[in-house]
């Protein structure tokens, strides 16, 4: 099963990915990790990506997809894969579809986590992290003391309400149209309510996938 996780930043994709992987018995593949591994490994595409990064440019989709394609040939993905963060724009969705076709495979389902913007802002702005040991906290104030090491709690730059709004706007403009692209291309799109406990959302997701 090739499953694409989809949803706004802060919708909980990163939390659900490993849980779904365990339940479905297929590994996750985080594009960023695979890209970094290829750069470290010095593969042909990895060196191309490295050159882009050193010039301060974005790594082109074609290079990233090439690296992901190489990775998907590994035996651990024979049963399938959960892709998290691989598809953020319509050209990336098209590129992924073509790349999978080249491997004789296709996306089996797109799992879209549905959540209101206000809920996300609330959720992320409730999150603080220890500046020393990086332990995450919920429901604590900036400046509170970390229970583990006594460090001060800070808000990650990404979790600042203004930063979140900016990311949500980018999502609406670039990423939301991807869902329509999948629908019009006849792919299975499964929408799951992402509000609630981690366990509830996981149960809903598996139910929606018929598992």
* Active-site residue, 105 included: no
Nearer Cβ to Zn ion, position 22 or 131?
A: 131
Interface with Zn ion in residues 146-165 (CB under 5 A): 146, 148-149, 151
Would you count residue 183 as binding Zn ion (CB under 5 A)?
no
Any residues with CB less than 8 A from the CB of 190 and at least 6 apart, and which?
109, 110, 111, 112, 205, 208, 209
Q: What is the sign of the dihedral through the CA atoms of 23, 24, 27 and 29?
A: negative
* Active-site residue, 167 included: yes
Minimum separation from the CB atom of position 9 to Zn ion (A): 25
Nearer Cβ to Zn ion, position 80 or 151?
A: 151
Minimum separation from the CB atom of position 15 to Zn ion (A): 21
Binding residue (CB under 5 A) for Zn ion from 51, 78, 133, 176? 133
Would you count residue 136 as binding Zn ion (CB under 5 A)?
no
The piece of 34-42, 65-73, 134-142, 170-178 that touches Zn ion (CB under 5 A) is 134-142
Task: Output the 3-class SS for 56-122.
Answer: CCCCCHHHHHHHHHHHHCCHHHCCCEEEECCCCCHHHHHHHHHHHHHCCCCCCEEEEEECCHHHHHH
Minimum separation from the CB atom of position 142 to Zn ion (A): 14
Would you count residue 132 as binding Zn ion (CB under 5 A)?
yes
Q: Which residues of 28-52 are buried (b: 16+ CB within 10 A; e: fewer)?
A: bbebeebbeebbeeebebbebbbee
Report the Cα 158 to chain-centroid distance in Å: 15
Query: Using CA atoms, how far apart are residues 6 and 189, in angstroms rounded to an integer?
Result: 10
Minimum separation from the CB atom of position 14 to Zn ion (A): 21
* Active-site residue, 40 included: no
The piece of 35-43, 63-71, 122-130, 202-210 that touches Zn ion (CB under 5 A) is 122-130
- 83 - beta bridge partners? 4, 29
Which spans of this chain sit near Zn ion (rule: CB under 5 A)?
130, 132-133, 135, 146, 148-149, 151
Catalogue the active-site residues: 13, 88, 127, 156, 167
């Amino acid at each position: 099963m090739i499953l694409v996780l989809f949803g706004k930043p802060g919708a909980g994709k990163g939390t659900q990915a490993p849980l779904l992987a365990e339940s479905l018995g297929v590994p996750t593949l985080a594009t960023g990790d695979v890209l970094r591994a290829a750069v470290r490994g010095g593969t042909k595409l990895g060196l191309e990506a490295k050159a882009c990064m050193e010039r301060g440019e974005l790594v082109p989709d074609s290079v990233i997809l090439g690296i992901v394609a190489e990775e998907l040939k590994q035996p651990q993905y024979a049963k399938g894969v959960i892709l998290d963060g691989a598809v953020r724009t319509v050209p990336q969705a098209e590129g992924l579809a073509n790349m999978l076709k080249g491997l004789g495979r296709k996306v089996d389902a797109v799992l879209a986590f549905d959540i209101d913007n206000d809920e996300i802002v609330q959720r992320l702005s409730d999150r603080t992290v220890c500046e020393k040991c990086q332990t995450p906290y919920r429901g604590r104030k900036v400046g509170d003391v970390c229970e583990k090491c006594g460090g001060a709690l800070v808000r990650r730059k990404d979790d600042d309400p203004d930063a979140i709004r900016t990311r949500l706007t980018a999502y609406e403009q670039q990423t939301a149209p991807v869902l329509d692209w999948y629908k019009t291309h006849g792919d299975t799109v499964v929408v799951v309510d992402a509000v609630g406990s981690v366990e509830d959302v996981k149960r809903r997701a598996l139910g929606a996938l018929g598992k």
